[in-house]
Amino acid sequence: MRVSHMLQADTLKFLQKAQKNEITEYHIYSKLSSYIKNEHNSKILGQIARDELRHHDKLKMFTGTVKKPNSLKVFFYTFISMIFGVTFGIKLMEKGERGAEKVYSELGKDIEEFRKMAEDEDKHEKELVGIIEEEKLKFVGSIVLGLNDALVELTGTLAGLTFALKNTRLIALAGLITGIAASLSMAASEYLSARTEQDNSHALKSSFYTGGAYVFTVACLVLPYLIFPNYVVSLIFTIVAAILIIFVFNFYISVAKDLSFKSRFFEMAGISLGVAAISFIIGHFIRLFLGVDV
């Protein structure tokens, strides 16, 4: 069945592109389905893969062309999903399907096959992806706690120490001791807090995610002081590192949990950098007041 003559040239061109996307996504979902150990998630991804293959076959009837999957895209989204979680990888990829869903809906007014495809695309985003069980997202609150506390406390501490000590090694030493002690304290506090609401296994995981996020942030913020000999340059790179961490984390959360990126990013960055600026000034005046000259 070839009906490409019924479609306008620009619509046909779009459908050929959509056909390539559908076969590409079929391979992505199939790979993820085979890689993931969670049986529940594997079945969901397998169902989406079958839907994508059916879409490809339907589009092939309309375009009359054969399309091969985009191998680079298959590798990229499979890799991203395995590193950052299936929910993040799928939602990032599904964002590119919104244009296809709109065109399918428009064509569905006259052609039944496209109406069903539009419904499938909507189902993928709202139903199937929504019921994927993923540990990373269950404990995102604990990760936020660790990251946010480390960014606010350690960025402020390092800024304050920078002009108080003026020695990158001493600043790094003080920062690491402060950071590691604080991460252990935060992990213990999160464990005790989570234990009142969850079972012990979840409480342990909550504390692990909080402490791990804290330690990761500490390492990123202190690293410039171990690389650059100039304390001002080190502080600049520490602030850049803090902004990058805030940017990447909020981008991840905005995609995975469908939240606003802009407002969360500026709020978190404003708090962290505001505390750093205040601490920087306090450190300078304390040094003058105590007459410390390192």
In the chain, where are the structural domains located?
Answer: 4-131, 135-290
User: Whole-prediction pTM value?
Assistant: 0.69
Q: Which amino acid appears at position 168 of this protein?
A: T
Give the Cα separation of 28 and 104 in Å (integer).
21
C-alpha 267/C-alpha 287 separation (Å) is: 30
DSSP assignment of 65-96 = ------HHHHHHHHHHHHHH-HHHHHHHHHGG
pLDDT tens sequence across 228-241: 999 889 989 998 99
Amino acid at 172: A
Task: Give residue 54's pLDDT.
Answer: 86
- The neighbour count for residue 41, using CB atoms within 10 Å, is 18
The DSSP 8-state label assigned to residue 197 in this structure reads T
The pLDDT value given to residue 131: 60
Cα 175 to Cα 39, 171, 223, 289, distances in angstroms: 44, 6, 10, 22
CB 167 within 8 A of CB 217: no
Nearest-5° angle of CA 235, CA 140, CA 148? 25
Per-residue tens of pLDDT for the chain, all 294 residues:
444 445 567 677 777 888 888 899 899 999 988 888 778 788 888 888 888 888 888 888 878 888 899 999 999 999 988 887 787 888 888 775 555 666 666 665 666 677 777 777 666 666 666 666 566 666 777 777 788 788 878 888 888 788 777 889 989 999 899 888 888 888 888 777 777 765 566 777 788 888 888 899 999 999 999 999 998 899 899 989 988 988 888 888 888 777 788 888 888 888 877 877 787 777 667 767 766 555
Among the listed residues 145, 148, 153, 146, the one whose alpha carbon sits nearest the alpha carbon of residue 276:
153
Task: State the Cα torsion 193-195-201-203 to the nearest 10°.
Answer: 0
Q: So what's the pLDDT on residue 183?
A: 86
Segment 25-83, tens digit of pLDDT: 899 999 988 888 778 788 888 888 888 888 888 888 878 888 899 999 999 999 988 88
Distance between CA atoms of 86 and 89, rounded to whole angstroms? Answer: 5
SS3 64: coil
CA dihedral 29, 32, 37, 40 (to 10 degrees): -20
> Residues with Cβ < 8 Å from 274, sequence gap 6 or more?
none
The residue written with tokens 């040239």 in the block is 9
Alpha-helix residue ranges (DSSP H) falling in the chain = 9-35, 39-63, 71-84, 86-94, 98-107, 112-123, 135-138, 140-165, 168-195, 200-227, 231-256, 261-290
Q: Which CATH class is domain 4-131?
A: mainly alpha
